[in-house]
Amino acid sequence: MESPTTSITRRDALIATAATAAAVSSHLPAAAAPAAASPPPTNMPPTRLSLQVNGQSHALELDTRTTLLDALREHLHLTGTKKGCDHGQCGACTVLLDGRRINSCLTLAVMHEGAQVTTIEGLGTPQAMHPLQAAFVKHDGYQCGYCTPGQICSAVGVIDEVRRGVPSHVSADLTVRPLLSADELRERMSGNICRCGAYSNIVDAITEVAGSRA
């Protein structure tokens, strides 16, 4: 006589599997808890640093993580240099470092011991404006004015690059001095964003000053 066949449903199989897994896991040793990450040190000693800013020597004690931008604004109170995107994409923080333009938000101050830094405050004053400052006023090269310090510092660097024959992406011939064309100036100034859209006036201002120095 044949034994009756036992019928097992899919639901019964899943319940049995879950029960077996629970029984096995209850006999396993508990996994060791992951070790807590050590907090970063908060008492790092400051680093001493000397900078020549706008012709004056400054001795600073800074956290090594301090950007050049924050050193200028927060420690030397030179707030003409603006903090825009803080990612090197808008150019509002442009200053001149040893004569060449740089995004001060992208570099650490401690990397530039003894360097010569020029900010917008060092280029001119309302009573004795730099030629580019005067040209920006003449051609209405600013509107809200937030980007203007970086625009002017960058333009000073651009004129020097052209004078030294440094080519740009749009230079047709890398062996000759670049032309003072609108295309050249737009390309070289493309890292400085003007949210007000005064680009054509900015080009006119730079062209006037660059042409007089050609």
CATH number of 47-123: 3.10.20.30
Any idea which residue has 């004795």 for tokens? 128
The two structure tokens encoding residue 172: 């047709």
The CATH 1.10.150.120 portion of the chain extends over: 124-214
CATH number of 124-214: 1.10.150.120
Which residues, listed in sequence order, are joined to residue 56 by a DSSP beta bridge?
53
pLDDT for position 175: 84
For the sheet with 47-53, list strands across it. 56-62, 47-53, 116-118, 94-97, 100-103
pLDDT for position 214: 42
Q: Using DSSP, state whether 86 is helix, strand or coil.
A: coil
Half-sphere exposure of 30 (CA within 13 A, CB side): 3
Which residues, listed in sequence order, are joined to residue 60 by a DSSP beta bridge?
49
Which element (helix H / strand E) includes 156? helix 148-164
Q: How many helices (H) and strands (E) does the chain have?
A: 7, 5
Kindly give the confidence (pLDDT) of every residue in the chain, 214 residues in length, as a single tens digit, with 9 standing for 90 and above.
Answer: 555 555 677 777 767 777 676 665 556 555 555 566 666 666 778 999 999 999 999 999 999 999 999 999 999 999 999 999 999 999 999 999 999 999 999 999 999 999 999 999 999 999 999 999 999 999 999 889 999 999 999 999 999 999 999 999 999 888 888 888 889 999 999 999 999 999 999 999 999 998 855 4
Note whether 169 and 187 are within 8 A (CB).
Answer: yes
pLDDT for position 27: 60
pLDDT for position 101: 97
pTM for the predicted model, two decimal places: 0.77
The CATH 3.10.20.30 portion of the chain extends over: 47-123
pLDDT in tens, 73-126: 999 999 999 999 999 999 999 999 999 999 999 999 999 999 999 999 999 999
pLDDT for position 11: 73
Which residues, listed in sequence order, are joined to residue 103 by a DSSP beta bridge?
94
